[in-house]
Structure 1
Amino acid sequence: MFPTQPVSRRHALKTTSAGFGMVALAGLLGQDGRKAAAATAGPKPLAPKAPHFTPKAKKIIFVFMQGSISQMDTFEYKAKVQQDDGKAGPGGGKVTASKFKFKQYGSTGSWFSELLPNIAKHADKLCWLRGLHTDTPAHPQAVVQLHTGSANAALTRPSMGAWLLYGLGTENQDLPGYITINPPPNFGGAVNFGNAFLPAHFQGTRINDQGDLPNLKPQTATNLQRKQLDLIQSMNRDLAGSPGGADQVDGIIESYELAFQMQGKVPELLDISKEPKHVQDAYGIKAGPAGSFARQCLMARRLSEAGVRFVEICQPGWDHHNNLHKGLIDRCQSVDQPTSALLADLEQRGLLEDTLVLFGSEFGRLPTAQGVDGRDHNITGYPMFMMGAGVKKGFTYGATDEYGIKAVEGRMHTNDLHATLLALMGLDHEKLTYKYAGREFRLTDVAGRVARDIFA
């Protein structure tokens, strides 16, 4: 990786750009952040930037249920579906009632099934978006569209976390501003947290549910790492300033320096063993795969508390075309307690004053049966919920028809969701643009409508 002999400027670029981000480069760096900062010339691309208008939230935690959670069996009670069990559905197929018991919670009377008793305790604090819809029923395209605003595979777009960093920068210069924990390995992969045509320093940093960032541990003595880094960075800056210098070089320089600083802070920040036992017990922390999502939730709280602008955590396994009922029991048991604990922990620490939590999937599922025990995809009407900074408590925006198939009130396309999230963070989605290939691009493409009715 790092050369031990003098290298040409072009070879230096080739060496640094191979990993193209801090993850692949971080193991080569040292621990003195102040010296690293002094070694970097020019303005800081990740320095905090003024929003377009006063923000209602400063940070986002996105709790992503990959595969599309069945709302018909969790938090979208439809009396008509229960009554018409076994009858022909309005769009074809056989209506299938949920086998799980539902009841209403809180003064809002929000419906939850028996699968989510802990999240249900927050009923009066949630803000529901129940009229969502998207463009494609295929997971790869829908997941990418949820994360980047476009399902068009012909042109990779920046992820919403990258757009937030581009628009706002980050408040903690010793940490990445955008972290994704256990991102989907398929369904778009790194595209879902990538920077695309934005400069490289706006891409997300990937970690796993054990809190491990690949190659973060230094491989050589600190003083030697600093000398190596200074040499490479000097050549990188020369190359960046030369005619025809690659645009990516500035991102590489920033990635090296951030990684240098991260070695001292990130491992400690991600070490959830330092949390009191009662906190770990509240999240349901346990060893092995069964505790994966609980660890993610606790790390997300720690990262957000430390000032990370955008944190995403992921629980896969919701694509229940078969084995629906047993599968839902398993998945809900893995997310119910940790999600509830995350919301409660953020609230009691006062973090929800500037942190917004978004919970949901790339689309929903149908009220009709698929096979013996399954439900197919539904892109025409499905819910997500929010809680925290900037949104109303105990509020529902939008609705689907009596069978839960189509959004009929408060309809929100994925572009509208993104426009609303940006607005909550103080950004005008029509002004947050980046010129590439001769045109101005934005997260919401040429659409997007802000759902201001949900604003607190």
Structure 2
Amino acid sequence: MNLFHNPAALELTRRHFFASTGLSLGSMALASLAGRAADGAPVPRDGADTTTGTGAALAHTHFPTKCKNVIYLHMVGGPAQMDLYDYKPKMKEYFDKDLPDSVRMGQRLTTMTSGQARFPIAPSKYKFARQGQCGMWISETLPHTAKMADDMAFIRSMHTEAINHEPAITMMQTGNMVTGRPCLGAWASYGLGSLNQNLPAFVVMVAKPSNQEQIQAISARLWQSGYLPGEHAAVSFRAASDPILFINNPPGVSPGVRRTTLDGLTKLNELNHDLLNDPETKTRIAQYEMAYRMQSSVPELTDLSKEPQKVLDLYGPDVKKSGSFAHTALTARRLVERGVRFVQVYHNNWDHHGNLPGRMADQTRDVDQPCWGLIRDLKRLGLFDSTLVIWGGEFGRTIYSQGGVSATNYGRDHHPRCFTMWMAGGGSKGGSIYGETDDFSYNIVKDPVHVRDLHATVLRLLGIDHDKFTFRFQGLDQKLTGVEKAHVIQDLIA
């Protein structure tokens, strides 16, 4: 290529240069992964559902699986495990006593409490009861969730190295505290492809909590595709009249004019691709076409008027309030019903440094009935076995109070060494309880589960071997689970 006689080539970025010289990292990775998918994935047993969707990097899944979709409900801020699921009755004896040094063992603290003179223990003010045949202890703040205990797989021994929100959420979503990596949803989209040509494979929604006391900042970095092809980033649905910005044609522009315009743009982009061989040009073409198809599919998707009243009642009184967690949960069900591969939902305001009793009731009221309604609804439609629902935050909270403590008012600092998450459906083992913490919900005493272990287990439920599922980037076979050993938690799989 003569750069001096090609004005477009003079604008080449470093990425474009390598692409034009036949060293496109994306193309090599795709070809490499496609080869491994064909050679490395065993032919599954007869009768197993191993099909992948359109545009999938994997020719078929590595393992037989029923799970096709994921709904991931992330509680932004870090829910206090000892106020919801990790019952610690012995703490009543320690009210306002300092956390023993033998429990803390010199572990690092955030700067928000590292300067405290005392670390007064704050027992949960909530009552707990055993629920279901599994006997899981669940707080009185979650009465609807308690009714489905035997559908849920509880992990009480989650842990992470991240101690602050941004790196912790990034770790939970991408497997690494450093930004710029593909998230779990992007990996699922890339490996398994699309099940509906008129909707994205990966959608993200941010639900608005009823209590706005302390909102954590979250950004699109959490649902990006990183070094994977750009079309695997999530499409963000808004809580507004137009769920997707600019999806509707402007006044005076008919669908026919829009179609003609896109056809012209496609021809120009194809000429540009032929000239520069930039793989992102193909991504742009695909995204324009998807946007055009969504002009008809999204209005139907977001119209809840045809949902039976008995279904709306499952999700609770806020289901018709756009942007509420209930509305978002029902929309998530409608998305997976229509073949969207991965739905990521964020619910904010779980960062309870203070006034936990005053705020926890609002938080649990937001999510309790909608989560129960979502599970009931998936069962009603025969989608429960094929849809994995995940619930949890980026870390847990401390048993000691940030600042002072009273029987009715306390706050909790960040705590990465143990927290609780749960899964339901999608091949997970309902009624299972995995992992234990000490009497202070401070250290794990049995069956620790790292974030990378959770990711490996989720991929396994989707039929993917996390060690074989790689993408060539910067000279390395990159994985969601990273370079350290990750373990599939077989006890959580039905």
DSSP 3-state at the match of 2:412:
coil
Cα distance in 2 between the residues matched to 1:176 and 1:285: 29
The counterpart of 1:54, out of the listed 55, 59, 64, is: 64
Instruction: Determine if the alignment matches structure 1 residue 196 to structure 2 residue 226.
Output: yes
Instruction: Determine if the alignment matches structure 1 residue 426 to structure 2 residue 463.
Output: yes
Cα distance in 2 between the residues matched to 1:182 and 1:204: 12
The counterpart of 2:190, out of the listed 129, 154, 166, is: 166
1:183 is displaced (CA, Å) by 7.2
1:78 is displaced (CA, Å) by 1.1
The counterpart of 1:222, out of the listed 255, 259, 272, is: 255
Gaps spanning 5+ residues in structure 1: where? Answer: 1-7, 15-42
The counterpart of 2:244, out of the listed 213, 216, 241, is: 213
Cα distance in 1 between the residues matched to 2:57 and 2:474: 26
Instruction: Determine if the alignment matches structure 1 residue 393 to structure 2 residue 433.
Output: no
Aligned to 1:302: 334
- Counting only pairs closer than 5 Å after superposition, residues 367-446 of structure 1 correspond to structure 2 as 367-372=399-404, 373-446=410-483
Cα distance in 2 between the residues matched to 1:309 and 1:167: 11
DSSP 3-state at the match of 2:285:
helix
1:188 is displaced (CA, Å) by 5.0
Aligned to 1:65: 75
Instruction: Report the TM-score, using the length of structure 2 for normalisation.
Output: 0.80
1:422 is displaced (CA, Å) by 0.6
Cα distance in 2 between the residues matched to 1:61 and 1:85: 38
1:280 is displaced (CA, Å) by 1.6
Instruction: Determine if the alignment matches structure 1 residue 100 to structure 2 residue 126.
Output: yes
DSSP 3-state at the match of 2:324:
helix
Cα distance, 1:74–1:344 mapped onto 2, change above 3 Å: same
Q: How many aligned positions are there? A: 418
Question: Which residue identity is paired with 1:225?
Answer: R
Question: Which residue identity is paired with 2:159?
Answer: H
Q: Contact 1:209–1:293 at 8 Å: present in 2 too? A: no
Q: Contact 2:76–2:216 at 8 Å: present in 1 too? A: no
Instruction: Determine if the alignment matches structure 1 residue 86 to structure 2 residue 96.
Output: yes
Aligned to 2:155: 129
Question: Which residue identity is paired with 1:406?
Answer: N
Instruction: Determine if the alignment matches structure 1 residue 351 to structure 2 residue 357.
Output: no
1:58 is displaced (CA, Å) by 1.0
1:412 is displaced (CA, Å) by 1.1
DSSP 3-state at the match of 2:166:
helix
Question: Which residue identity is paired with 1:383?
Answer: T
DSSP 3-state at the match of 1:103:
strand
Aligned to 2:28: none
What is the percentage of aligned positions where both structures have the same residue? Answer: 37
Aligned to 1:37: none
Cα distance in 2 between the residues matched to 1:49 and 1:269: 29
1:285 is displaced (CA, Å) by 4.3
Cα distance, 1:44–1:108 mapped onto 2, change above 3 Å: closer
Cα distance in 1 between the residues matched to 2:320 and 2:121: 38
Aligned-pair Cα RMSD in Å: 2.5
Instruction: Determine if the alignment matches structure 1 residue 240 to structure 2 residue 273.
Output: yes
Q: Contact 1:143–1:187 at 8 Å: present in 2 too? A: no
The counterpart of 2:488, out of the listed 446, 450, 453, is: 450
1:46 is displaced (CA, Å) by 5.3
Instruction: Determine if the alignment matches structure 1 residue 141 to structure 2 residue 151.
Output: no
DSSP 3-state at the match of 2:305:
helix
Gaps spanning 5+ residues in structure 2: where? Answer: 1-6, 14-52, 105-117, 209-214, 405-409
Instruction: Determine if the alignment matches structure 1 residue 249 to structure 2 residue 303.
Output: no
Cα distance in 2 between the residues matched to 1:268 and 1:9: 42
Q: Contact 2:160–2:450 at 8 Å: present in 1 too? A: yes
Could you give the per-residue CA deviations for residues 255-298 of structure 1, whole angstroms, max 9, x where no partner exists?
11111111111111111232122222221243887961110010
Could you give the per-residue CA deviations for residues 77-106 of structure 1, whole angstroms, max 9, x where no partner exists?
012223322222132722211111111112
Cα distance in 1 between the residues matched to 2:90 and 2:221: 40
1:235 is displaced (CA, Å) by 1.5
Cα distance in 1 between the residues matched to 2:273 and 2:348: 40
Aligned to 1:264: 296
Could you give the per-residue CA deviations for residues 319-371 of structure 1, whole angstroms, max 9, x where no partner exists?
01001101101111111111111111112221111111001000111111112
Could you give the per-residue CA deviations for residues 427-447 of structure 1, whole angstroms, max 9, x where no partner exists?
111111111122221111112
Larger of the two Rg values belongs to structure: 2
1:135 is displaced (CA, Å) by 1.1
Aligned to 1:277: 309
Question: Which residue identity is paired with 2:303?
Answer: D
Cα distance in 2 between the residues matched to 1:246 and 1:230: 19
1:418 is displaced (CA, Å) by 0.6
Cα distance in 1 between the residues matched to 2:382 and 2:91: 40
DSSP 3-state at the match of 1:376:
strand
DSSP 3-state at the match of 1:51:
coil
Aligned to 1:3: none
Instruction: Determine if the alignment matches structure 1 residue 182 to structure 2 residue 192.
Output: no
Q: Contact 1:47–1:173 at 8 Å: present in 2 too? A: no
Cα distance in 1 between the residues matched to 2:197 and 2:320: 32
1:9 is displaced (CA, Å) by 7.8
Q: Contact 1:9–1:235 at 8 Å: present in 2 too? A: no
Could you give the per-residue CA deviations for residues 93-146 of structure 1, whole angstroms, max 9, x where no partner exists?
222111111111122221111111011110111101111101111001100111
Aligned to 2:374: 342
Instruction: Determine if the alignment matches structure 1 residue 362 to structure 2 residue 400.
Output: no
Cα distance in 1 between the residues matched to 2:431 and 2:54: 40
Question: Which residue identity is paired with 2:478?
Answer: F
Cα distance, 1:286–1:393 mapped onto 2, change above 3 Å: closer
Could you give the per-residue CA deviations for residues 120-179 of structure 1, whole angstroms, max 9, x where no partner exists?
1101111011111011110011001111111024xx101110001111101111110100
Instruction: Report the TM-score, using the length of structure 1 for normalisation.
Output: 0.86
Question: Which residue identity is paired with 2:340?
Answer: V
Q: Contact 2:70–2:387 at 8 Å: present in 1 too? A: yes
Q: Contact 1:363–1:377 at 8 Å: present in 2 too? A: yes
Cα distance in 1 between the residues matched to 2:239 and 2:337: 18
Question: Which residue identity is paired with 1:415?
Answer: R
Cα distance, 1:345–1:77 mapped onto 2, change above 3 Å: same
